[in-house]
Amino acid sequence: MSAIGIAGVKQIKGIVIIVGNYGSGKTEVSINLAVNQKRAGVDVKIADLDLVNPYFRTREARKPLLKLGIEVVVPEEKYLQADLPILSPVVAGLIRQPSDLTLIDAGGNDVGATVLAALADSFRNKRVHMLQVVNPFRPFTDTIESCLKMRGEIERASKMTINGIIGNANLIDETSVDDIYNGYDFVKALSGESRLPLEFITASVELLPEIDMGRFSCPVIPIERQLVPPWKRAVELKK
């Protein structure tokens, strides 16, 4: 087990769909969950289903992921920079023959989750886990009520049920340890209110050493930031 394993995430398997509101951090969470699980010995494939966001998508991290042996399903190379709603047929194939862990990174809000309904046939008879990413420092998910509303909108659009919550409280580079604690308390309360399990929370690798892990009753996935603007460097992903 790699050093990252200290955060205590067990192996996660099956088809896992990551949903949430715009900018909740679905893609950064998906990438880091994929990396975390690959390091824990799980075979991982990841599909970029973000049909609504023009920049900062999983496809931008495909090279470092491939290096780790994580297959990334993205639209054809020639359409990579397009803002067209392209659903690669490979995605349906991926769902029919899943890996140990098959991660599906959906687009934001109900609009981004609509595409999941189009894959209903492929999901039939599969064990699918859909997780909602929540960052309470984002507009429209800063209260329990608004998170529950978002959940309902996504479930209606995708015609699927959300099974768990991922706490992704952050202000990117300006996140403090207190933000992580407050964010945890928020998603813990959301978990109680929604009766959905809190699957894990996240914290950047830079903050991890300062965080008291004893405070949490769920695992913590470290975030090695990959989606950075051009004047910053992504954290180098090691095996």
Partner 1 sequence: MGKILMKGNEAIGEAAIRAGCLNYFAYPITPQSEVAEYLSRRMPEVGGVFLQGESEVAVGYMLFGAAGSGERAFTTSSSPGVSLMSEAISYISSAELPVVFVNIVRGGPGLGGILPSQADYFQATKGGGHGDYRLLVMAPASVQEAVDMVMMAFSLAEKYRNPVMILGDGLIGQMMEPVEFSDHLKSEPSNKDAWATNGMDTRKSKERNLVKSLFLDAQLLEEHNLALKAKYDRMKQEEVRYEPYNIDSDYRALIVSYGTMSRVCKTAIDNMKTEGIEVAMIRPQTLFPFPINPIRKAASKKGCVAVISFELSMGQMVEDVERSVQGKCPVYWHGKAGGEIPTPEEVIDKVRSFT
Give the residues lining the site for partner 1 (CB under 8 A). 22-23, 54-56, 81-83, 135, 137-140, 142, 170-174, 229-232
User: Cβ of residue 53: shortest distance to partner 1, in angstroms?
Assistant: 8
Nearer to partner 1, 11 or 182 (CB): 182
76 vs 86: CA distance, rounded Å: 9
User: Cβ of residue 200: shortest distance to partner 1, in angstroms?
Assistant: 20
User: Cβ of residue 8: shortest distance to partner 1, in angstroms?
Assistant: 26
Nearer to partner 1, 120 or 171 (CB): 171
Nearer to partner 1, 83 or 145 (CB): 83
Nearer to partner 1, 23 or 222 (CB): 23
Q: Which stretches does DSSP call E strand in 50-113? A: 71-73, 101-106
Return the percent helix, strand and coil in the chain, to nearest 5. 40, 20, 40
Residue 204 tokens, joined: 């950047």
User: Cβ of residue 153: shortest distance to partner 1, in angstroms?
Assistant: 12
Q: Which residues of 60-74 are buried (b: 16+ CB within 10 A; e: fewer)?
A: bbbebbeeeebbbbb
Nearer to partner 1, 158 or 168 (CB): 168
User: Cβ of residue 174: shortest distance to partner 1, in angstroms?
Assistant: 5
SS3 state at 145: helix
SS3 state at 200: strand
Contacts with 31 (C-beta within 8 Å, 6 or more apart), sequence order? 46, 58, 61, 65, 226, 227
